[in-house]
Amino acid sequence: MSESGNVITHHSKGIATITFFHPQSNSLPGELLGKLAGEIEKAGADKTVKVIVIRSKGLKAFCAGASFDELIAIQNIAEGKRFFSGFAQVINAMRQAPKFVLVGVQGKAVGGGVGIACAGDYTIATEEASVKLSELAVGIGPFVVGPAVERKIGTSAFCQLTIDATEWETAQWAREKGMYMEVCSDIPEMEHALQTLAEKLALSNPEAMRMLKQVMWKGTEHWDTLLLERAEMSGTLVLSDFTRNAINKFKEKAK
- Phi then psi dihedrals of residue 206, to 5 deg: -65, -35
- Does residue 2 carry a pLDDT above 60? no
Where residue 112 falls (left for φ over 0; alpha for ψ -120 to 50; beta otherwise) is: alpha
Distance from C-alpha of 17 to C-alpha of 3, rounded to nearest angstrom: 22
CB-based contact 17:9 (threshold 8 Å): yes
CATH topology of domain 6-187: 2-enoyl-CoA Hydratase; Chain A, domain 1 (3.90.226)
| Position 83, amino acid | F
| Tens of pLDDT, residues 133-170 | 999 988 899 999 999 999 999 999 999 999 999 999 99
Asked whether 143 and 230 are in contact (CB, 8 A), the reply is yes
What's the confidence (pLDDT) of residue 1? 40
Listed residue (229, 24, 35, 45) closest to 146, CA to CA: 229
Could you state, in order of their start, the residue ranges of all structural domains in the chain? 6-187
Segment among 38-52, 55-69, 85-99, 101-115 with least mean pLDDT: 55-69
